[in-house]
Chain A
Amino acid sequence: MTERGPETVTASVARAERVRGPWADVWAQFRKHKGAMMALGVLGTLALVCLVGPLVWRIDPNFIESDTVKMFKMRNQGPSFAHPLGTDQLGRDMLARMMFGGRISLAVGTVAMLVAIFIGTAVGVIAGYFRRMDGLLMRLTDLFLALPLLPLLLVMMFLFRDSISGALGPRLGTFLLIVLAIGLTSWMQAARVVRGEVLALKEREFVLAARSIGTPSRRIITRHILPNVLSPVLVAATLGIAAAIITESVLSFLGLGFPPDFPTWGRLLYDGIAEIRTYPERVMWPGIAISLTVLSVNYIGDGLRDALDPRIRGR
């Protein structure tokens, strides 16, 4: 830890008389990571299609032809102009279902990640900065790490689903519960990483200097500590998105996720498995979407880590 810290980096940037902030530097570095750039493109496209797509492709994902003769004709179709990804076993349009499912899966992934990162960072910073809290919080983290996650998730869904659904309606209620459940069970890695960083950071000269002029702890944390732990937090965050999407799939698989007429990528995958022999594409579409998202997010995380670490930057 004797190399240049971020403070010296900004200094060197100023010396070079280039008019750009630290984020521009990060971006410049990020752009050099080919994989990350490609991943950003892929993820951006996926998100855009899911967000804007349903406005253009106006087929209801749950529409079933009520005329049974027509319905039977529309079942299990391969890709065509009318249905670019084909139709499912009840003649529902797969493209509409994929886009609708993507909205939910991506929203669950992002929000659950935000929850996990918020808790993880808070616990990590407090544990690392205030020695008195360290033992207690880290044992709590250990406790959570030791708990088997899936049963814990199931118990949470089981206990709170009815009350939350009753208060907020089944859809918003389930969304909130799933997001909270995933968030509350996946913050531990972030907390540990952040604590480690904070422990090292708080002995650094600039923190000592801040403390010596009487800066209150709150200020030191927001001004000096948090910006410096940003890089591990962002990396943990990107990885968290992937984990959250997969966890949501698992819950859907067990019947504890969204209602069955609510397509998410996880549920589409599960529904497709029954017919993997006859219609492999029905498993492939959601499978590809989930894999692409997870892979892109991981690459972006990788790129961000490189870009945010001033010791690597410029090499």
Chain B
Amino acid sequence: MNFRTALLGAAAAFVLAPAAHAERGADGEVKVFYYQAVSTLNAYLSSGTKDVEAGSLVLEPLAGFDQDGQLFPRLAADIPTVENGGVSADLTTITWKLKEGLVWSDGSPVTSADVKFTWEYCTHPEGGCAQGAKYEGVKSVDTPDDLTVVVTFENPKPYPYQPFTGGTAPILQKAQFEACIGAAAASCTEQNSKPIGTGPFIVTDFKVNDVVTLEANPNYRDPAKPAFGKVTLKGGGDALAAASAVMETGEFDYAWNTQINPEQQAQMEAGGKGTFVNAFGTLVERIEINMTNPDPALPEGERSTIKHPHPILTDANVRKALSMAIDRQTLVDVGYGGAGRPTCNLVPAPAFQASDNTECLTQDIEGAKALLEGAGWTDSDGDGIRDKDGKKLALLYQTTVNPVRQDFQALIKGWWNAIGVEVELKATDPSVFFGGDAASPDTFQKFYADVQMFANNFDGTDAEPYMAQYLCDKIPGPDNQWQGENINRFCDPAYEALKATLSTTSGIEARGEIVKKLNDMITKDTNISIPLVDRGRFSAKSNTLDGFVMNSWDTELWNAQDWSRVK
């Protein structure tokens, strides 16, 4: 071979390079930044999102959620439903079929025994599984043959897709984790940091709380994927540094959870090396209204309990006026930018269960004033604060210590002052506020304030447990150690009845309709909860990374097998 042919060969190689696109590992290395560093790859041992997401590169569930919140099969051959016979008519069993010919990254076959083992691993009484909720209500998991898994529930489950779905419930290899069950789970360092999986990548090196290096899984089920041969998953720093690494310096291809303020977002985007990607899930920043009296003059144990209804907030007109006075778009522009959007719903997504309630999106100060005036709240003593029957429209408004929330407090206080409501602000350390300590007066369950602001969401796409929070028997109080999710102390027989219907209804669409009604009862009909901002996931991706699809229903690395380098 003379020099000329060598040159020709080299030139041909370059020309042919794009054709080699669909070859595993052809696109080299992809660098991913999780500013909260990864500490384990076993999702069952960590409730940290970062660990679950990193683990999802290696371990897979039977089915995952796509960007629209729809289930799609991963290890399963298809999604079982009542129609295709996969879910029994009495809603107590679900039968999953595994894809044929699946192998672990070590070459051994994936069988139903692995699935059953995963359930045993997470529900072991000594194990302390972080994702136990996924397997709640499961009576047994049976394996009639190597590819069939039958999950039996204790009670009929209208939504049977909790176990083995999503990044928080991946399937573990029985052979690898057999010795790690129960109390031994946490001490299996080797297994937890280098799990054998079915996902597109395998771990080559794991430095706890620092860097994870992975390479393409030679046994991945699609021979053309993944396009990247190597993944470096780096931890450390903060959201700002992470955003900068992708958007300004271009050192990384993707950075997770780059929640920074709108001004910084604009500044980063000017860097031109990447774009911000968002996806909206169910996390809603809202103001919750206390239907009971938090007056400090009441004896301890009676404050904020159903014994004493709230003197002013039980008036539906006042609650409606408070909601009307708020300009939600301004809140988004000040606090979240691309990471938020205004909403009037507690259940803003997925589309099949989101109510088309948009009435509150336009601020109406004059309307709110007129409403209060009409309801008899007038400023009779000329001090700028409305009153009625000797009761002043004065509120204590609490939230956690957080710069964005303090800005919201200041803005909302201004609007409420404008309609004649006096507002006193309070901010509590978040670890105390959400700490749930029954002895602390500052927790959100105790609600020793008139209104409070925080964000809440629900896991997955099924809103039923979330809507169940507003049932009468979930009201926190001294008799249940202030444990209960119905922090508004809302109690409505019509709501109870509708929620009971939801528990016996199957079928995604039908359930969605009921959820919409329940959502409207809490928001636009009664205004006991005033939704403000739908907060999305917000990450940064490089312009040279192709195939990335943001997902708020599963891990953000859910389709890492489809990523490639822009040519």
Contact = CB atoms under 8 A, between A and B. Distances in A.
B406 A278 contact: no
Contact of B263 (A76, A163, A254, A260): A76
B108 interface: no
Interface of A, secondary structure class, is loop
A137 interface: no
Contact of A64 (B333, B410, B426): B410
Given A66-B414, A90-B334, A261-B410, A278 B426 contact: no
A256 interface: yes
B327 A68 contact: yes
Given A255-B427, A260-B426, A278-B264, A66 B415 contact: yes
Contact of A256 (B240, B330, B429): B429
A162 B426 contact: no
Contacts of B267: 278
A255 B400 contact: yes
A271 interface: yes
Nearest to A69: B330
B401 A255 contact: yes
A255 B442 CA distance: 11
B448 interface: yes
Nearest to B428: A255
Nearest to B441: A162
B407 A89 contact: yes
Contact of B425 (A261, A277, A278): A261
A129 B429 CA distance: 45
Q: Kindly name the residue among A75, A76, A254, A261 whose own CB sees the greatest number of chain B CB atoms within 10 A.
A: A261
A165 B407 CA distance: 24
Contacts of A165: 296
Interface in A56-81: 62, 64, 66, 68, 71-72, 75-76
A6 interface: no
Given A71-B330, A255-B429, A277-B264, A64 B414 contact: yes
Given A90-B411, A261-B413, A277-B240, A72 B333 contact: yes
Contacts of A64: 410-411, 414
A62 B410 contact: yes
A93 to B, nearest CB: 13
A162 B296 contact: yes
B424 interface: yes
Contact of A271 (B297, B406, B426): B406
Contacts of A255: 400-401, 427-429
Interface in B372-404: 400-401, 403
Nearest to A261: B425
A275 B406 CA distance: 14
Interface string B418-462: 100000111111000000000011100000100000000000000
Interface string A138-167: 000000000000000000001000110110
A6 B69 CA distance: 84
Contacts of A277: 240, 264
Contacts of A254: 401, 429
Contacts of B564: none
A68 B424 contact: no
Contacts of B409: 260-261
A275 B448 contact: no
A274 interface: yes
A254 B429 CA distance: 6
A315 to B, nearest CB: 51
A277 B243 CA distance: 13
A259 interface: yes
A287 interface: no
Contacts of A66: 414-415, 418
Interface string B302-336: 00000000000000000000000001011001100
A170 interface: yes
B261 interface: yes
Q: Kindly name the residue among B264, B406, B413 whose own CB sees the greatest number of chain A CB atoms within 10 A.
A: B406
A275 B414 CA distance: 23
A166 B425 CA distance: 14
A89 B327 CA distance: 17
Given A64-B414, A89-B407, A166 B427 contact: no
B263 A90 contact: no
Contact of B406 (A163, A256, A260): A260
A75 B335 CA distance: 13
Q: Kindly name the residue among B263, B297, B333 whose own CB sees the greatest number of chain A CB atoms within 10 A.
A: B263
B410 A90 contact: yes
B427 A274 contact: no
A162 B448 contact: yes
Contacts of B240: 277
A294 to B, nearest CB: 24
B403 A271 contact: yes
Nearest to A170: B424
A275 B418 contact: no
A271 B405 CA distance: 11
Contacts of A163: 296
B410 A166 contact: no
B440 A158 contact: yes
A94 to B, nearest CB: 14
Interface string A34-73: 0000000000000000000000000000101010100110
Contacts of B414: 64, 66
A68 B425 contact: no
A255 B440 CA distance: 15
A212 to B, nearest CB: 58
B548 to A, nearest CB: 26
A64 B334 CA distance: 13
A78 to B, nearest CB: 14
Nearest to A163: B296
A184 to B, nearest CB: 21
A166 B263 contact: no
Contacts of B411: 64, 90
Given A68-B327, A254-B401, A260 B296 contact: no
Nearest to B414: A64
B334 A89 contact: yes
A261 B334 CA distance: 17
A254 B432 CA distance: 10
Given A90-B407, A259-B425, A261-B425, A274 B261 contact: yes
A263 B410 CA distance: 12
Contacts of B264: 275, 277-278
A166 B400 contact: no
A163 B407 CA distance: 28
Nearest to A256: B429
A202 to B, nearest CB: 47
Interface in B329-366: 329-330, 333-334
A260 B429 CA distance: 12
Contact of B426 (A75, A259, A274): A259
Contacts of A256: 429
A71 B411 CA distance: 10
Contacts of B400: 255
18 contacts: A68-B329, A72-B330, A75-B334, A89-B261, A89-B334, A158-B441, A165-B296, A170-B424, A254-B401, A255-B400, A259-B424, A259-B425, A260-B406, A271-B403, A274-B261, A275-B263, A275-B264, A278-B264
Interface of A: 62, 64, 66, 68, 71-72, 75-76, 89-90, 92, 158, 162-163, 165-166, 170, 254-256, 259-261, 271, 274-275, 277-278
Q: Which A-B residue pairs are the 6 nearest by beta carbons?
A: A255-B401, A166-B296, A274-B403, A260-B427, A255-B427, A64-B414
Given A260-B409, A260-B410, A275-B261, 9 more contacts: A76-B263, A90-B410, A90-B411, A158-B442, A163-B296, A255-B429, A274-B261, A275-B263, A277-B264
